[in-house]
A = this chain, B = another copy of it.
Amino acid sequence: MNTNRIFNFSAGPSMLPLPVLEKAAAELLNYNGSGMSVMEMSHRSKYFEEIINSAEALFRKVLNIPDNYRVLFLQGGASTQFAMVPLNLLSSAEGTADYIVSGNFAKKAYEEAQKFSPNIRLAASTKAENFVRVPNQDELQLSAEADYVHMCFNNTIFGTKFPYIPETGNVPLVADMSSCILSEPVDVSRFGLIYAGAQKNVAPAGVTIVIVRDDLLKEPLPGTPTMLTYKTHAENDSMYNTPPCYPIYICKLVLEWIESIGGLEALAERNRQKAAKLYDYLDNSQLFKPVAQKESRSIMNVTFRTDDPELDAKFAKESAAAGLSNLKGHRSVGGMRASIYNAMPEEGVEALLKFMAEFEKNN
C-alpha cells in the first residue's frame, strides 16, 4: 500500500506503528465479526470487555507488572494526574510530598500539588541550568515523612531522562512516564505509582495509563471528585463510567505489535540504537550540538541546536519540506528536537541523519 506516509518526529501525539494503523483501518467498520466498529460498541459488551481485558493483560505481561499493582485506563492526560496524585496519596490536607523538578511538566505537577496542601516540598530542581540535566541522587533532599516523592522520568521538552531510579526508602515513588513508558523495561516494583498519557508510545491521545500499587488505593482527601479517585476506578475495573474505548483498543493493538517484534527487550535495543546513532552524529558534528548533558540523555527525545537561531529555523523548515516533520524544538529550549518513539522506524532516523549531513555540508 503506497500511502505516502512521512517520518513524523512530533513530541506527541506521535507516530503509531504502521501495522497497527493498517489493522485498525481494516476492521474499522466491522470488528471481529461483531457487525460494528469498536467506536460503536457498548463498553459493557463482551467484545469490548475482551478488548480492555486483553489490553490490561498485555500491559502486565509486556511491562512485567507485579500482581500487587492495578492497571487503570483513565482520561484527562498527565495534567489530570498532577491533581489526582496529591488528592489520592496525601495523607491529609496538610500532608507532605517531595517533588523533583527536572523540567516543565515536573514543575507543573509541583505547582498543581500546592493547591491541595501547603506542605509540598521542592526536593531538587535543575531549572537554573534550564533543565539540561536531571538531578543526581545525592542532590535529592528527601523527607522520610513524605507521603510520596514525585518525579518525571523522561523530560520531553529538554530531551533528558533519569539514568537511575531514585532511592526513596519506604516513601512511595510516583513517576510521570508519559514520554518513555514502554520504551524499555522498567522495574515497576521500585515505584508506588506510574502514570502516562498515551499519546507517545501507547495509543492516540485520550487515554491515560495508571499503574498503582494496591496499598495506595485509599480514601482520597475530602472533596475529591469521584472521577478523580483511583479507588473508584480500580473497584470498577476502569469502567466506573464509559471509558475512552477506541484509544484503549489501539493500545491493545500497540501492545500486540510490541509482542510481535520481540517484546520490550528487543524494542529497547532498537530504541537505544536509534538514539545512539543520533547522539554519535551530534557528538562529532561541527555544526550541531546536543542540548542535554551526556549522562541525562533521553532515548526518546533528542534535542540539538546550531549556534544560530536563524539556521535552526532554516533546518526546521527545510527538513519538513523533505518529509521529516515536527523537528522544531520547544520554544523554551529552541533549536531542534527529534522525538523517536517506539513507532519511529530506523529508516526515519537514517533519513534524518542523511538530511543533517547534507545540511551541515551546505551551511
- Report which A residues bind B (CB closer than 8 A): 1, 3-6, 8, 10-16, 18, 21-22, 24-25, 28-30, 33-37, 39-43, 45, 75-80, 82-84, 87, 112, 115-116, 197, 199, 204-207, 223-228, 240-247, 250, 323, 325-326
Contacts and interface: CB of A to CB of B under 8 A. Distances in A.
Count this chain's copies in the assembly: 2
Contacts of A84: 225
B205 A243 contact: yes
A126 B227 CA distance: 26
A250 B28 CA distance: 13
A24 B30 contact: no
Nearest to A228: B225
A40 B16 contact: yes
Contact of A42 (B1, B10, B40): B10
Contact of A225 (B11, B37, B83, B247): B83
A227 B80 CA distance: 6
Contacts of A244: 75, 205-206, 244, 247
Given A206-B75, A326-B45, A225 B115 contact: yes
13 contacts: A3-B35, A11-B42, A13-B41, A39-B250, A75-B76, A76-B76, A76-B80, A78-B241, A80-B225, A82-B226, A83-B228, A112-B225, A244-B244
B35 A206 contact: no
Contacts of A37: 16, 21
A153 B327 CA distance: 47
A245 B6 CA distance: 19
Nearest to A326: B42
Given A10-B42, A223-B223, A240-B79, A21 B16 contact: no
Nearest to A227: B80
A78 to B, nearest CB: 8
Contacts of A28: 21, 24-25, 28
A264 to B, nearest CB: 22
Contact of A29 (B1, B39, B43, B228): B1
B13 A39 contact: yes
Nearest to A42: B10
A224 B83 CA distance: 9
8 shortest interchain CB distances as A-B pairs: A6-B35, A83-B225, A206-B244, A39-B204, A79-B241, A25-B28, A75-B75, A10-B42
